[in-house]
């Protein structure tokens, strides 16, 4: 069943949760702009998977920490596929494992720039195109946070957790800010999900710790993202859903 409403842009769509979300959204009837930073081959594979589901899709290289590249990304997707109706704010990185007392400014700048500042910049670009206050037709923003934002990630990466807590505040605040402008803003907080983001051995060490006693799959997060982006979630905004096996 096709339940989408047009064109969706997925940041960091070349791998992991973003790649799975791109495919799940295509299966829901969306045409997909697949953003990537470095992995053109992986992005091309995601585009092919979306096309095999009968949707249009393009891959667009852009570093979402750079405002001019974000503008080019949105403009390219709009020009090639049409007006954007949903944005999945997914691109993100973790920090190396370590204690707060050891963090330096360079490390903190990197994680907050990629996870927090870029999420704000991408959300702003989305609002300027989708908000009825800017002449748009409305839409949905889904921010990919992390359970770390609540758990705090002591001894691992408290800076990453804090950078995702900023994303949760963005979801709440922006959701309230643009609710009357036709835009719903939602978030997901994944737990331990099997992707390349983890340091070697981390999933083996922690994968069985959630109540559901296993790590999650990117597809299990993607399903929730696709639901939130769809009209099936039409009475939801300003809130974030845990997808974390109970952890």
15 binding ligand NAP? (CB under 6 A): yes
State the binding string over 107-126 for ligand NAP (x if CB under 6 A, else -): -------x------------
- Our answer to whether residue 157 is catalytic in this structure is no
Helix H or strand E segment including 188: strand 183-190
Nearer to ligand NAP, 92 or 175 (CB): 92
CB 192 within 8 A of CB 214: no
74 binding ligand NAP? (CB under 6 A): no
Q: Cα 225 vs. chain centroid, distance in angstroms?
A: 8
Helix H or strand E segment including 239: strand 239-243
Nearer to ligand NAP, 136 or 215 (CB): 215
Q: How many CB atoms lie within 10 A of CB 38?
A: 11
Task: For the CB of residue 235, give the shortest distance to ligand NAP in the complex, in Å.
Answer: 25
Residues 181-220 that bind ligand NAP (CB under 6 A): 190, 192-193, 195-197
Nearer to ligand NAP, 55 or 164 (CB): 164
Please give, one letter per residue, the 3-state secondary structure of 4-31. Answer: CCCEEEECCCCCHHHHHHHHHHHHCCCE
Nearer to ligand NAP, 70 or 233 (CB): 70
CA distance 114 to 89: 11
Strand partners, 61: 36
Q: Residues interacting with ligand NAP, by CB under 6 A?
A: 11-12, 14-18, 35-39, 42, 63-65, 90-93, 114, 144, 146, 190, 192-193, 195-197
Q: Which residues are catalytic?
A: 160
């Amino acid at each position: 069943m096709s339940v989408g409403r047009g064109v969706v842009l997925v940041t960091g769509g070349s791998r992991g949760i973003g790649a799975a979300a791109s495919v799940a959204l295509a299966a829901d009837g969306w045409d997909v702009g697949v953003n990537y930073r470095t992995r053109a081959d992986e992005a091309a594979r995601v585009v092919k998977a979306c096309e095999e589901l009968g949707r249009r899709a393009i891959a667009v290289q852009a570093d979402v920490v750079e405002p001019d590249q974000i503008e080019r990304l949105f403009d390219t997707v709009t020009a090639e596929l049409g007006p954007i109706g949903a944005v999945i704010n997914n691109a993100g990185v973790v920090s190396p494992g370590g204690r707060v007392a050891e963090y330096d400014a360079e490390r903190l700048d990197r994680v907050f720039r990629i996870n927090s500042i870029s999420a704000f910049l991408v959300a702003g670009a989305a609002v300027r195109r989708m908000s009825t206050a800017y002449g748009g037709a409305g839409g949905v923003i889904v921010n990919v946070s992390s359970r770390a934002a609540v758990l705090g990630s002591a001894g691992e990466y408290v800076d990453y957790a804090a950078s995702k807590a900023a994303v949760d505040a963005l979801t709440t605040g922006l959701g309230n800010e643009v609710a009357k402008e036709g835009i719903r803003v939602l978030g997901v907080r994944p737990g331990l999900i099997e992707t390349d983001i983890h340091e070697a051995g981390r999933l083996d060490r922690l994968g069985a710790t959630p109540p559901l006693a296993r790590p999650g799959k990117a597809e299990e997060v993607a399903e929730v993202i696709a639901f939130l982006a769809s009209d099936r979630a039409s009475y939801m905004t300003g809130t974030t859903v845990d997808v974390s096996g109970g952890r």
